[in-house]
Amino acid sequence: MLRNRPLTVFLFLLLPFCVRGEFTNEAIARATAAMEAAVPRAEADPARPIFHVASPAQWMNDPNGPIFYKGFYHLFYQLHPFSDGSGPKYWGHVRSRDLARWEPLPIALWPSREAGETEVWSGCCTINGLGQPMCFYTSIGPDKPAFDHAEQWAAIGDDDLIAWRKSPANPVLSEAVNGGTKIYDWRDPFIFRDQNRTFLVTGGHMAKDRQAAVNIYEAENAGLTQWKHRGVMFQHPDAGAPTVECPNFFKLGDQWVLFVSPYGKVQYFVGDFDAATCRFTARTRGVLDYGASFYAPNTMQVPDGRRLVWGWVNGFPGGRGWNGCLSLPRQLRLSREGQLRQIPAPQLGRLRGKVVSWRNVRLGNDDEVLALPNMNTLEIQAEIDLMTAEGMELGIKSGDKHVQAIGVKFNGSELQVMDTKAPLALAKGERRLALRIFIDRSVLEVFANETACVTQIISPLEANATLAIRAAGGAARVKRVQVWPMKTIW
């Protein structure tokens, strides 16, 4: 695996792949050249994150098609290779052996203009019944406006998942499969399996008054090129939900989980799936991430059964040669009550530098100030016994007084990260608050008790940053604080 080299070198070394198969067309050559030209500017930006997956340059958004295949974790993502603003979408591609170090690969998918495509939108990746890797995505073109007439296409990959060719069966799902039922914003296919059957779900809404719903289809052949519409699997219960994007549907333990992105905070629903009727009944629900900068997640199951998720981190300023990254990989589980629990993937520990730690720090109403490593790429873990305190306040202050401090507060029932609030209740008799905070230059991710997650865009810390912590309304004790400088993933 290529490591510890500038991204310009990655692109140069990957150009030979462009002579394989469909990579020879003019469109991919132009896109690759545009990316290569933008890399120096992107690399030079001190706000660009280094331990979150990002495109070598230019605009990126939704994670697409994560899959573990033949020893590699593969991630695709929406890419506009010609500027750092949103535009016609391609699929970028990275892979990793360990979820810690990643290598960029050639652009995987691009619009087949000769076939009437102008964009390739979000989707998934799977292995069909013939043993072939397949990407499914929403095809957009001049005659396929995204709102009322999209199609679902597929591409077939070589055995290393680097070179892809469009399926001769495209479109694998056209509007005809819906049998006259009109679905608006019909997009973002996601494949799952149950009882030796293969299903596909799409987002959208059922009428012009926007009845947000997830539709479901069942494969009728091993090559996954023939599908039958099984109806509406789930209708969003909120009357005001305009649509749902990027549905992910999967099993955790013996329960089924649905993720939807309804033009706002990502929601999850937990319940039961009836494969006979193809209907999902939700019992509990929640929010995946309360920050304003997390959207359109996509999930992967790894061989040991764990389920991982990545989201699109957005909200960065433009004009820097890059825009967007993916969240850290998160490992998912469910509580007994059917609430989602998330932790950063344990493999991220391989990126840690030398630890700085403090133990048994007594807290009162005055700040205890701890000096942080002189870095703006950090992981901070804090385990706090609230004792008699009503809550706590933590502040990460930059050495530059003009840079806004990162504030984290807890009042016993609510977590506040800067200007974002998230419900967080402790179990009866529980006084423990466990925080994990990741700072990657301009990206902040906060995990509290595996329950509340907040992703924010921040100003990078300057030199001599400190961590100030105090109790609110009583006494508390920091059982342990650990801080690690974090290394690059490239």
- What pLDDT does 402 receive? 85
User: What is the distance of C-alpha 245 from the center of its chain?
Assistant: 13
Q: How would you class 259 by CB atoms within 10 Å of its CB: exposed for 0-12, middle for 13-18, buried for 19 or more?
A: buried
- What pLDDT does 400 receive? 87
- Please indicate, yes or no, whether residues 157 and 229 belong to a single structural domain of this protein: yes
Task: Please identify, among 293, 318, 347, the residue that sits at the C-terminal boundary of a domain.
Answer: 347
Asked whether residue 1 is assigned to any structural domain, the reply reads no
- What pLDDT does 23 receive? 41
Stated as kind and residue range, the H or E segment containing 34 is helix 26-44
pLDDT tens by residue, the chain, 490 residues: 333 444 444 443 344 344 344 444 788 899 999 999 999 999 999 999 999 999 999 999 999 999 999 999 999 999 999 999 999 999 999 999 999 999 999 999 999 999 999 999 999 999 999 999 999 999 999 866 666 679 999 999 999 999 999 999 999 999 999 999 999 999 999 999 999 999 999 999 998 778 999 999 999 999 999 999 999 999 999 988 899 999 999 999 999 999 999 999 999 999 999 999 999 999 999 999 999 999 999 999 999 999 999 999 999 999 999 999 999 999 999 999 999 999 999 999 999 999 999 999 999 999 999 999 999 999 999 999 999 999 999 999 998 888 899 999 999 999 999 999 999 999 999 999 999 999 999 999 999 999 999 999 999 999 999 999 999 999 999 999 999 999 999 9
> What CATH number did the domain enclosing 230 receive?
2.115.10.20
Task: Please identify, among 295, 314, 347, the residue that sits at the C-terminal boundary of a domain.
Answer: 347
Task: Report how far residue 296's alpha carbon sits from residue 89's, in angstroms, rounded to the nearest whole number.
Answer: 15
- Please indicate, yes or no, whether residues 144 and 220 belong to a single structural domain of this protein: yes
Which long-range contacts link 448-451 to residues 24+ away (Cβ below 8 Å)?
448/410, 448/415, 448/422, 448/424, 449/424, 450/341, 450/342, 450/343, 451/339, 451/341, 451/342, 451/424
Give me the phi and psi of 198, to 5 degrees please.
-115, 130
- What pLDDT does 9 receive? 40
Write the pLDDT tens digit of every residue in 20-36: 444 447 888 999 999 99
- Please indicate, yes or no, whether residues 229 and 147 belong to a single structural domain of this protein: yes
Give me the phi and psi of 166, to 5 degrees please.
-65, 140
- Please indicate, yes or no, whether residues 168 and 239 belong to a single structural domain of this protein: yes
- What pLDDT does 144 receive? 63
- Please indicate, yes or no, whether residues 76 and 180 belong to a single structural domain of this protein: yes
Could you list the residue range(s) of the whole structural domain that residue 401 is in?
352-485
- Please indicate, yes or no, whether residues 392 and 444 belong to a single structural domain of this protein: yes
- Please indicate, yes or no, whether residues 359 and 401 belong to a single structural domain of this protein: yes
Asked whether residue 490 is assigned to any structural domain, the reply reads no
Query: CA–CA distance from 246 to each of 87, 456, 462 (Å)?
Result: 19, 21, 37
Specify the DSSP class assigned to residue 300.
E
Give me the phi and psi of 460, to 5 degrees please.
-60, 140
Name the token pair of 44: 């030079």
Task: Please identify, among 299, 328, 347, the residue that sits at the C-terminal boundary of a domain.
Answer: 347
Q: How many CA atoms lie within 13 A of 261 on its CB side?
A: 22
